[in-house]
Chain A
Amino acid sequence: MTRVLLTIGLLTSIFCSFACVQKGGNATTGNTGDTIKVGVYADLTGQTSSFGQSTKNGVELAVEEINAAGGVNGKKIELIVEDDQGRPEQAKTVVSKLISQDKVQAIIGEVASTNSLAAAPVAQDAKIPMITPSSTNPKVTEVGDYISRVCFIDPFQGSVMAKFAANTLKAKTAAILGDVNSDYSKGLTQFFEEEFTRLGGKIVAKEAYTQSDPDFKGQLTKIRNLNPDVIYVPGYYGQVGIIAKQARELGMNMPLMGGDGWDSPELWKLGGDALKNTYISNHYSAENPAPEIQNFVKAYTAKFGVSPDSLAALAYDAAKVLADAIKRAGGTDSVKLKDAINATKNFAGVTGSITLDAQRNAVKPAVVLELDPAAGKFKFKETIAPEGAATSTTAAANTNASGANVANTSATNMNATAVSNANATTNSNTATTNATR
């Protein structure tokens, strides 16, 4: 008898739950309204919530500007933001919510490649275009033709710094200190190592940390004994500032190098003088006096009370690229919109001129910047165009496809950056990313 009761209980529970979900479901009316619904999913409460917050802010700012200017094709953009707690399982859940319940017509997200990889198949299956502002793992856009990105991919950025270390800094040996939980960090580590070794250098140590580590001196002391010419730290500003500081405390004065994850106004406060003799690769310099960039920095600071970091700038660009594509597609028909996004060419964003290649990756040249903590600004060192990166890895071969565009882009960009040296402010633009902790 109990068994029967038990099964009845089970059944009732299942039906109850089903009813609950149904009730929760009928919130929206579909795409009949006079707004264009865009879904954003980001980590707003988990361990990477600072990235998610920046992303959300960047998109919100872009949408506010677009709507203030009359919207796209006469329709306002309506944002629906959902929190995924930085968990891939949740990312997938909220994307299916955005698509099936809120009936969004396009999606922007996520920062961490892990979360984007989990959620992208949902968007692909539902044929809803998804632009990821800052997931750098090459696998993300390989999910399908509805998935695109506006940032670098890891193979390119990792090899840029390897080239810079070997050719410009004439380094023979390097140590790498990466974030074990972040696939951004792992990706950069892998491609830096490949390229640096190919150029005749030697990786003497590969150490790891996690974001929750209270100090990094253990790893640094170990590296100190091997005395490498440079240390590559492909991490995020929250940790790298401290790493630089503690390295200097240990008397290690060799150059430190990093990626666009370093780029944040907070870096100067965390690292201080220790940031002397450090170099990063970035999309391009934020001190660029070009009006659209300075306006972005000004508007962002006014709206949110903090200066934008690279993730905010990329999210801003992702939203602008989407709006531009909707305009060109003449609506939100998913096939046309996808094609329009994928045909994005020389779009002037705050993170540089964005052109999507055949693999839907943004092709932009990278610039190497030197950090100047006294003035709190970046100094332009050199530009490295994507073509070179392609030789080292198969994944990077993607970038080759649009060689012609690249030439264009890099030319314009170089000008922009050259000018930027003169200028000062702390800031950011750019980036790539994903992180998973």
Chain B
Amino acid sequence: MDTFVQQLINGLTIGSIYALIALGYTMVYGILRLINFAHGDIYMVGAYAGFMLAVALGFASEPSAFGFVVTLVGAMAIAGVIGMAIERFAYRPVRKYSKMTTLITAIGMSLLIEYLFVFFFSGTPRSFPQLLPNENITLFGNATISTSQILIFVVSILLMVLLQYIIFKTKIGKAMRAVSFNINSAKLMGINTDFVIAFTFALGSALAAAAGVLTAQYNPKIEPLMGIMTGLKAFVAAVLGGIGNVPGAVLGGLLIGAAETLVVGYGGYIGIPSTYRDAVAFAILILVLLIRPAGLLGSNVQEKV
């Protein structure tokens, strides 16, 4: 029992990270119908931004809650600005073109960010400083949870609540919902759609950066290509939950994280060795999509002529 609880905690930790990144994918998709392949790299940019802030401001040497908050918020702000810049200079000019064109632009953006970071920071993994003291808490039996895991849960939940608040209780949130419902009508209603889209990118990028900093507290190795696989799995999580659907992204992220870890822990009993871990996310996605083509929480819209 304690092993199962332990595995669940492990899985949900990773799941929360996937969920935070998936939110960015799902919001951008909801508004632009664009798979933002560069979003996984924003997660990496966020981790690097946090790393540089923490080192530059001297938080690396002394763990403190203040240092952590400043690093987290700073990284989120930097990533938000970068996200807006990417939207402005790469995606806005191709917005009116076909899906293939925007997809290739996104892939090109992803490659550009990765190679720029490899060029400037080299591929050598860096060690992210511990910003808060890390301790283990024994729950019962063998099941333990570390403070960095608790931190991931708490901060992710806070950010998700904040996001829900922004989307449903603020003016800009209303505008976002309007744009995602119908961009042209929204424009006719006097909504500055360009601004709303830029804001959505900033919001999504900030969440990804938060995921980057939080992951780095749990697994302090950061490197320029760390966003590729994690980003892809987060995207899978977004599609799984129903792309364009915010609670769906959270559900999808937690499911993928838990499923992955449980396959590692128990897959051996049903003939799936842990080497298949990366395939699990995709396999679940394919199965779900075949049964529910719009994802778990997505609305199944019939196409009309």
Contact = CB atoms under 8 A, between A and B. Distances in A.
Is there any pair of Cβ atoms, one from A and one from B, under 8 angstroms apart in the complex? yes
Interface of A: 43-50, 52-54, 180, 207-210, 212-215, 217-219, 221-222, 224-225, 237-239, 241-242, 246, 249-251, 266, 269-270, 306
A50 B124 contact: yes
A180 B275 contact: yes
Contacts of B146: 249
Contacts of A224: 3, 142
Given A44-B123, A53-B123, A219-B264, 5 more contacts: A45-B119, A45-B123, A49-B224, A50-B125, A214-B230
B87 interface: no
A50 B146 CA distance: 30
Contact of A238 (B218, B221, B262): B221
B230 A212 contact: yes
Nearest to B124: A50
A306 B127 CA distance: 13
B101 to A, nearest CB: 23
B13 A222 contact: no
Given A53-B124, A221-B6, A251-B142, A45 B115 contact: yes
B102 interface: no
Given A214-B17, A217-B10, A50 B219 contact: no
B102 to A, nearest CB: 25
Contacts of A48: 123
Interface of B is mostly: helix
Interface residues of B, number: 46
Contacts, number: 120
B219 A221 contact: no
13 contacts: A49-B122, A180-B275, A209-B274, A212-B278, A213-B277, A215-B10, A215-B13, A217-B10, A218-B261, A237-B125, A238-B221, A251-B144, A266-B124
In the A-B complex, list the 9 residue pairs whose CB atoms are closest, starting with the nearest. A49-B123, A218-B264, A212-B229, A269-B127, A218-B261, A217-B10, A50-B124, A238-B125, A208-B275
A53 B224 CA distance: 14
Interface string B261-276: 1101100100001110
A239 B221 CA distance: 8
A47 B115 CA distance: 11
Nearest to A267: B127
Nearest to A208: B275
B122 A53 contact: yes
Contacts of A49: 118, 122-124, 224-225
